[in-house]
Amino acid sequence: MFRGRRSGLMGLIGLMLAVCQAHCLLHGQTAPVAAAPPQTPVSSQTPVSSQAPAAMSAPSLPPGVIYKEAMHPLDVVRSSMDNWSDAEVGALVAGMHMAKEACDQAKPEDYTGDDLYDLARLCSFGQEWDATNAAALQYVARGEKPHLAQAYKLSMSALVHLNAVEAAVQTAREMLRRLPYDAEVADAYLNMKVYLIQIGDPQALSLAAAEHAAIVQALGQNVPLKTAYGEGSIGMGALYESAMVLAFLQRYAGDDRAATATVADVEGALNAQAQLPAEDQLRILSVRTQYRLLGTRVPEIKVLRALRTPASKAQINPDWGFATVLVLFPDWCVQCRKMMTTMTSFAAVNSETPIHTYGLMFTEDEAEPLPEKEVKELRGTLTMVVPAETARSFGAIDYPLGIVVDKAGLIRYIGVIPGDAFSGGGFIEKFITRMAAKGGVTPKMR
């Protein structure tokens, strides 16, 4: 139905970083960071600031929150292997080779306890997925509790890499049944939900529904959700965001009544009197802002400059075509800028449908001119420069933020999209295809 160009991502290495994002929300632990899940906001009576994230000035925030915001661009850039140096990629490949050789020589039955768990981690790093799954399942079978949730995670990741997605989903369900709902389980479920959403697997909805009661109960404690073992935790903002994934999925399945009930459960779990940290308030506000936008017309977007050519008009086509995709990002997001070439190619090969795409780039310091290097990099792409306030209007705090608009100009999707979203068979193609099927209309085939 749609045409796209395959991206040049680093295959399994990139997939490993995207899926095996264990602990990415667990404070006090380290692991690769991957794209955040689609954000699903909602209105509420919970007393958080009425200001949008970008409107909150630095002096109004505690130093710790400002520090995390200051580090956020670095975290986002580091999360994409496209931005790694040759030396960093070389070191990773060398380490993976060493891990693979060691894994190939080991037998799970020769190990117990922490050594068995470490073997599963070693094999995962070496991308020996069958061996990873075998070691992880043996650890699970022995019921050795300190790393039980992490062992389930490793098994789920291995199964995904082996293209056994159904088995990975069943493993997640077993984990939820067997283990207390702690930060490790919540994080594993978030990873799996994100992955299923990005590949367009409808099991994301049923998996989120299975988790719903547990995550709502955790929210009702009004304190960060901790790990059963160790010092890791997930903050209220991130937990709220993950809980709202279910409402998001229900909306796209056309079940507005179920979505309304989910929203009521999630909002009702929050204590209206609780004083949440500013960091959590910002994330909850972002989610609510975006949810309110679903099904509404696109807010007015002021375009300052078009970068395709010096003579290009600085405007978004008022004819939304069959669908229009907007990608909002700050100029420091290197991987977002790199997406613009693939995004432009996607629009070109689907021009007869038509599907329009626009990159909306903003600078956080509008007093500074856009670096000429960035202008040259984006020449020939459908990228436009917009004011920083555009991020506020879309509740954007994570990037790249994708917005899919239907032919009537209504927002049908808003949330973070993967780096290969515009590749052939990628997230955008799948979402627009599902949107078309729901409306009973099929775009022209080329």
Cβ of 29: how many Cβ atoms within 10 Å?
Answer: 18
Q: Is 80 exposed, middle or buried (0-12, 13-18, 19+ CB in 10 A)?
A: buried
Same domain, 286 and 369: no
Same domain, 115 and 154: yes
Say whether pLDDT at 274 is over 90: no
Domain presence at residue 300: no
Q: Are strands 233-234 and 305-306 parallel, antiparallel or unpaired?
A: unpaired
Same domain, 276 and 311: no
Q: What is the mean pLDDT of the chain?
A: 84
Report pLDDT for 351: 93
User: Which residue among 237, 269, 292 closes a domain?
Assistant: 292
Neighbouring C-alpha atoms within 13 Å toward the C-beta of 224: 18
* pLDDT tens per residue across span 138-162: 999 998 889 999 999 999 999 999 9
Say whether pLDDT at 58 is over 50: no
Same domain, 39 and 87: yes
User: Biggest alpha carbon distance in the chain?
Assistant: 68
What distance in Å separates the CA atoms of residue 269 and residue 426, rounded to the nearest whole number? Answer: 35
Residue 23 lies in domain: 12-292
> What's the mean pLDDT in 260-287?
92
More confident residue, 75 or 108: 108
Same domain, 317 and 420: yes
CA distances in angstroms from 288 to 2, 74, 291, listed in the order given? 32, 26, 5
Q: What is the DSSP letter of 182?
A: -
Nearest Cα neighbor of 327 from 252, 413, 232 is 413
User: Which residue among 263, 292, 321 closes a domain?
Assistant: 292
- Local confidence band at 197 (pLDDT 50, 70, 90 cut-offs): very high
> What's the mean pLDDT in 27-56?
38
What distance in Å separates the CA atoms of residue 239 and residue 426, rounded to the nearest whole number? Answer: 27
CATH code, domain carrying 243: 1.25.40
Same domain, 199 and 333: no
Same domain, 235 and 261: yes
Domain presence at residue 32: yes
Say whether pLDDT at 16 is over 60: no
Same domain, 211 and 339: no
Domain count, the chain: 2
Cβ of 308: how many Cβ atoms within 10 Å?
Answer: 17
Same domain, 80 and 165: yes
CATH code, domain carrying 407: 3.40.30.10
Report pLDDT for 438: 77
- Is the four-CA dihedral 328, 329, 330, 331 of positive or negative sign? negative
Same domain, 177 and 319: no
What distance in Å separates the CA atoms of residue 294 and residue 310, rounded to the nearest whole number? Answer: 34
Same domain, 40 and 111: yes
* Cβ proximity of 184 and 150 under 8 Å: yes
Same domain, 384 and 425: yes
What distance in Å separates the CA atoms of residue 406 and residue 391, rounded to the nearest whole number? Answer: 20
Report pLDDT for 75: 73
Domain presence at residue 142: yes
- Local confidence band at 280 (pLDDT 50, 70, 90 cut-offs): very high
* pLDDT tens per residue across span 353-395: 999 999 999 998 877 888 888 999 999 999 999 999 999 999 9
What distance in Å separates the CA atoms of residue 127 and residue 305, rounded to the nearest whole number? Answer: 45
SS3 label, residue 10: coil
User: Which residue among 292, 327, 355 closes a domain?
Assistant: 292
